[in-house]
Amino acid sequence: MSSDLLPNVRWRIAALLFAATVINYIDRQTLSVLASEISAELGLSEIEYSQVVQAFLICYAGMYMVWGRIIDRWGTRVALAVSMVWWSLANAGHALSRGALGLGAFRALLGIGESGNFLAAEKAISEWFPPQERGFANGLVNAAASTGAILAPPLIVLIFTQWGWRTAFVVTGAMGFVWLAFWLRWYWVPERHPRVTSEERSLIESAPGRVPHRPVRWVQLFGFRQTWALFLARVLADPVWWFYLFYLPKYLSAERGFSIVEIGLTAWVPYLTADLGALAGGWLSGRLIRRGLAPVRARKWVMLPAAAVMPLSLLVPAIDSSTVAVGAICAVTFAHMVWKTNLMTMTNDVYPTAVVGSAAGIVGLGSSLGGVIFTGVTGFVVENYSYAAIFFVMAFLHPVALVILHVLAKGDVLERSTG
């Protein structure tokens, strides 16, 4: 082996994807952690805050298919670098906001850039990992999202208490440029990477999705049932994560009476359990695949018990104890990430590597579309009624999504390549 070669380069790539997603979530969480303080200073109502969040989600959703095609055309290395630079500058720009309009504008720019991250990660995982490892690799990316959400409250509250909320956006926005130096040095596709061993390259090239397929045009992806099955599942289930990402600190403050310091000490715990769920979900489906179960069937078997846990959401508004309520939220976030990790990995299982970016863009649009709709409903319901109805609806979204996934993709249809 040459001294320049390194074993397991793919896991170094996974570490870079992990770091990018941590930064992605710290940047988007800066607003939600400081929502009460920013809303008070800028005079935002509940509906105006939900509109600011929607500005992010609408642009995030609208760019999914655009980024998907960009990633397949430009390649993962260049596309993720451009995405990182864009969203880091947009996040720092929040410091210039003077009202709802300005805050919403920078939030929209943040959404335009950030939507490239997960799509590039899915493409990179398809390029670098065999099926039995893809679930765990996607679990790492989803765990990174939760890790960013864990780190964000104490980090952002610390910056806020020392220098104010505007500085918090500038500091978090600067993190992306540090990551960029490592990414440009380390990321290449396996065929062109100068430090990959022949053993690792053979393992990667043996993956089914890397076998040449007949060309699949972008528009043809809309004709496959698996595309619509995955799309609708994301529309229904992902709003649960968007709620906890954007509304958990506000809920703890408004309904549980938590101070900003108590939020900093507590709000990270549900994201830690989400981390564990992402890793456990990816590991478990990978274990089932190693035992001979077909990849998509393995993912669905793991998603079933996760969906069964989600009705615990009903307990959150009904319990007086804040400790027990946070415990129920933790169980829900754990189950959600078990679910989401396996659902996302199906994109890698179903589509050839050459079109994974485009397919992930279409499917990911469902996530943001569901988030846009649900966030608008949440703002209206919370301002005019209470959080209880929101928790009630969230209790049943995953079970319904699993039924739709099964009905639209019966038997082995998801397990057959589009090629």
Could you report the per-residue pLDDT of 211-232, keeping only the tens digit for each?
A: 545 566 777 788 888 889 999 9
Query: Which tokens belong to 169?
Result: 């956006």
From the list 344, 141, 330, 368, the residue with the least C-alpha distance to 242 is 368
Angle at the Cα of 10 from the Cα atoms of 6 and 14, rounded to 5 degrees? 125
Averaged over 266-279, what is the pLDDT?
87
Q: Which helix (H) or strand (E) holds 127?
A: helix 116-128
Q: Is 410 strand, coil or helix? A: coil
Reported as a single tens digit per residue, the pLDDT across 29-57 is 899 888 888 888 888 887 888 888 888 88
Query: Which tokens belong to 288?
Result: 């089932």
Average pLDDT, the chain: 86
Averaged over 98-104, what is the pLDDT?
90
Candidates 2.60.120.10, 1.20.1250.20, 1.20.120.530, 1.10.10.10; CATH matching 9-415: 1.20.1250.20
Give residue 171's pLDDT.
94
Q: Residue 409 — pLDDT band, cuts 50, 70, 90?
A: low
Q: Residue 412 — pLDDT band, cuts 50, 70, 90?
A: very low
* Cα distances (angstroms) measured from residue 269 to each of 89, 123, 151, 299: 29, 30, 10, 26
Averaged over 125-131, what is the pLDDT?
86
How far is residue 260's CA from residue 41's CA, in Å, rounded to a whole number? Answer: 15
pLDDT at 344 over 60: yes
pLDDT at 331 over 80: yes
Q: What is the widest separation between alpha-carbon atoms in the chain?
A: 67
pLDDT at 382 over 70: yes
Where do we find the tokens 């569901």?
370
Give residue 184's pLDDT.
93
Q: Is residue 277 within 8 Å of 136, Cβ to Cβ?
A: no
384 Cβ neighbours under 8 A, 6+ residues apart: none
Give residue 414's pLDDT.
38
Reported as a single tens digit per residue, the pLDDT across 9-22 is 899 999 999 999 99
Domain spans of the chain, in order of start? 9-415
Give residue 257's pLDDT.
82
From the list 398, 271, 287, 382, the residue with the least C-alpha distance to 334 is 271
385 Cβ neighbours under 8 A, 6+ residues apart: none
Give residue 413's pLDDT.
32
55 Cβ neighbours under 8 A, 6+ residues apart: 104, 105, 107, 108, 111
82 Cβ neighbours under 8 A, 6+ residues apart: 74, 116
Task: Write down the number of H helices and E strands in the chain.
Answer: 19, 0
Give the orientation angle of helix 9-33 with respect to helix 100-114, to 10 degrees: 170
Give residue 207's pLDDT.
61
Give this prediction's pTM.
0.76
pLDDT at 417 over 70: no
How far is residue 411's CA from residue 322's CA, in Å, rounded to a whole number? Answer: 43
Quote the percentage of the chain above a pLDDT of 90.
38
